[in-house]
Amino acid sequence: LGLGLWRRQAAVAAARGDEEGDRELWQRFMAPPVSGLRELRRRRRELRSRMELLIMETQAEVCRALAALDPGASFAVDSWEREEGGGGISCVLQDGEVFEKAGVNVSVVSGLLSEEAARQMRSRGKALKAKDGKLPFCAMGVSSVIHPKNPHVPTMHFNYRYFEIEEADGTKKWWFGGGTDLTPTYLNEEDAIHFHKTLKEACDKHDLKLYPKYKKWCDDYFYIKHRGERRGIGGIFFDDLDSPSKEEAFQFVKSCAKAVVPCYIPIVKKHCHDSFTPEEKLWQQLRRGRYVEFNLVYDRGTKFGLLTPGSRIESILMSLPLTARWEYMHTPPESSKEAEILEVLRNPKDWVH
């Protein structure tokens, strides 16, 4: 996984007298944290530090789970800095036997919110009070999109993030957002039920009302209006989460992040060696075209990234597949497997009752 250099650096740090427990923790990451190990230790009780540790751990857990399924491939680990403040770690696997493209990114950025980004937030009801037109912010998150080669293995996306803004009077506004969703090329009801049940269990630990609320939000959010269909079969999605308390919101996000591997990896294992036809591969390419359309036209996270000064375009567009296809006025035959998935994308189902 490209961890050799990082492990040597961690060993050197340990030799300088850092705590043994920290050393073990650091070696689980894909690269050194953006904020630095000393700084994270210094403010380890602050939620910002705990969230950064969570996204680092989530990145490493997911990367290792994916690499175990595609042993002939490896993740390129790319640490980058942002001139305006902060940086990130991009981990990308390409052209493996199982995964055509799998990216798991961490970003921890800070600076001044751009006018475009502030306008986008105000359109969602955020009453942000700037001082001399400036709004200091801090944003961090882990984001992943996984595009398998086999059309019987679904694409999966997840993202969990924390945002903090300091207003003119020094007041800090904060919120969490995120979600996990599945985009199959072909419908497999057992997979859909497993995926949704796993996410429901994570939500139910905190409040039985959360899963139905965030499941509907996911179906509504990942809607390709100009096609009249959803991007996939959903999952959960939420944004602007700032209640019931910061600690409770963080614990909910942690439960959701920990559900990523168990909700998806069993599906990959089940289907990664399934046989498929050229026609099924073609349908996968067409469905990926829809994925690209949603991300570039509607996705709020993509838009925010593109509007943020100093943002890293390579990491933002990691969500796009290596290959996709668009055919003019393509319509699958009635009663076909291709038509079956379209029916679900146009009319979302309840998978857990």
Residues assigned a catalytic role:
157
Residue 247 exposed, middle or buried by CB count within 10 Å (0-12, 13-18, 19+): exposed
Beta sheet of 234-241, edge-to-edge order: 76-81, 86-94, 99-112, 136-148, 155-166, 172-183, 234-241
DSSP single-letter state for residue 212:
H
Q: Which residue has the tokens 């036809």?
A: 277
Query: Three-state DSSP class for 348?
Result: coil
What's the distance, CA 166 to chain centroid?
25
> What does 281-338 look like in DSSP terms, one character per residue?
HHHHHHHHHHHHHHHHHT-HHHHHHHHSTT--HHHHGGGS-S-----TT--PPTTSHH
Question: Quick one: tokens of 261?
Answer: 């591997």
Tell me the CA distances in angstroms from 64 to 1, 11, 248, 266, 299, one per residue in order. Answer: 8, 21, 28, 14, 27
Residue 170 exposed, middle or buried by CB count within 10 Å (0-12, 13-18, 19+): exposed
Pairing of β 234-241 and β 172-183? antiparallel
> What does 100-154 look like in DSSP terms, one character per residue?
EEEEEEEEEEEEE--HHHHHHHHTTT-----BTTB-EEEEEEEEEEEEESSTTS-
Strand partners, 134: 131
Our CA angle for 105, 318, 135, nearest 5°, is 65
